[in-house]
Structures are given as C-alpha cells and as structure tokens.
Amino acid sequence: MTDTRLLVKRAKNNDLAAFEELVRLYQDRVYALCLQLSGHRDDAQDLAQETFVRAYRALSGFRNEAEFGTWLHRIAVNVWLNFRRRNGREFQLSLDEPLRTADGGELLRGVAGTDGDPLRALEEKEMGELVRAALKDLSEEHRVVLVLREMEGYTYEEVSRLLGCSLGTVKSRLSRAREAIRFKIIELARKAGEDLPAGGEKR
C-alpha cells in the first residue's frame, strides 16, 4: 500500500520507471476488467493500454482518496464507454430490449413459470458458457453494472462512484440488467436446446 503511494508520488514527478512499476503491479487487474467489459482479448489489450496512458496523464489529479486500482478501474470504464460510443454500438441492443419500457411497469413481463425452466437441466459448465455469451450480448449500461457488481465485487457506493451516477440509478440498473441477462440466457438456452438435446429429464 505505502509502496504504491511512494511509486505514485515518484510517477507524479515524471519518473517513468516508477510508473512502469505501477503498470506491472496493476496490469492484471486492469486487463481483467477490460476483458470482462469488452469480451475480446485484442480489445481488452487496447483498452488496458489506453487506460494506463490516460492514467499517466491524469496522475496529478490522483489524490489517494481512492485506492489506486479502483482509480485505474474508473479510467478503464470511461475508456471503454468512450470506445463504445465512438463505434456507435451503444444502442445496438438496447433498442430491441423487450423489458426496458420507460416507466418500468412492464419490466418483469413474461416472468417465471410461464416458460418452464430451460435452465434446470444445464450443467454448471454449460451455464457458465451461456452466461458468458449473454453478457456479451447485453447493452453497455447493463453489462457494466453487472461486471462491476458481480465480477469485480464493488459495492453499490463504489459502483456509483465508478460510473458517476446516483445510488438509486445503480440499484435500478442492476435490477434491470439482471432481468435482461436472464432473458438473454433463456433465449440462448432455447436456441441451444434446439440444436443439442439437453441432458437430464427431457431426453
């Protein structure tokens, strides 16, 4: 911890060797988040690279109020959001999202029970693959909250700081994101079920 502080201090004084040490210390954490967000190794590497370059430029603004790794994550999230925005992908999937009507009233339509449970028969491993695929397919705002909350384990407060939005927004987005991924997974499981007869009861 103090080690990091010292390195940050030196790096602030344009000591590139100190910054290099910081890159080595934090590259796995930054890369992991970039990989979770982008879902592609190449993109993740580019995003991570950009994150560190920006971090170096913004270093004078880092005041130790957050943990250094969290601060880097915040930059990584912004880099990723900008990347998505610039590539015009942001609305790609939100548009046909069946559950995002404005008032939230229809939020939970088609809810449990009506479609049986195509997931019951899935092995854990298959489930993992489905979740991975579904995550890639989510809109950016849904994916980012799930990644930060579930995969990175950040609290509501931390997520709200990372994304620069209110606690209430974090909670409602998470709730919607969980609905969204649930629908995607059911959809994917059905498709998979048509091709491969799932093991278990429905043989």
Partner 1 sequence: MTAMDCREALLLISPHLDGALTMEEEAALAGHTGSCRACAAELALQEKLSAALREFGRLEAQAPPELCGLVMSRLRAERKTALARLPAAWRKALAAAAAVLLITCGTATGLKIAGGGKMIGLGTPAKVEGPGSPAGLINGGGPAGPSGEATAPGTGNAQEGNTPYDNGGNGPGSPLTAAGGPAGIEPGAEGTADAPPAGVSSVPAEGPRVLLSSGVKVTSTILKTAVEDLTEARAKAVALAAGAEASTQVFREQAGGRKIIVLRMAVAAGRAPDLIAGLYGIGNVIDRQDESRDITPLYNETLVQYNDLISRKNSAVDAEEQRRLEAQAMSYRQQLDAWEAEAGKRIITLWLESK
Using rule CB under 8 A, residue 171 touches partner 1:
yes
Closest distance of CB 8 from partner 1, Å: 14
- 76 in Cβ contact with 51 (< 8 Å): yes
Q: How far is CA 118 from the centre of its chain?
A: 25
Single out the segment in contact with partner 1 by CB under 8 A; choices: 2-10, 36-44, 92-100, 190-198: 36-44
DSSP state of 159: H
CB proximity list for 15: less than 8 A, separation 6 or greater: none
Residue numbers 149-168 binding partner 1 by CB under 8 A: 149-153, 156, 163-164
Write the burial class of residue 35 (CB in 10 Å: 0-12 exposed, 13-18 middle, 19+ buried): middle
Stretch that binds partner 1, among 1-9, 53-61, 91-99, 195-203 (CB under 8 A): 53-61
Looking at 74, 140, 158, 160, which residue binds partner 1 (CB under 8 A)?
74
Which of these segments, 1-9, 34-42, 94-102, 194-202, binds partner 1 (CB under 8 A)?
34-42
202: which 2 tokens? 């429905």
**Residues within window 86-125 making contact with partner 1, judged by CB under 8 A:** 86-88, 108, 111-114, 117, 119, 124
CA 122 and chain centroid, separation:
24
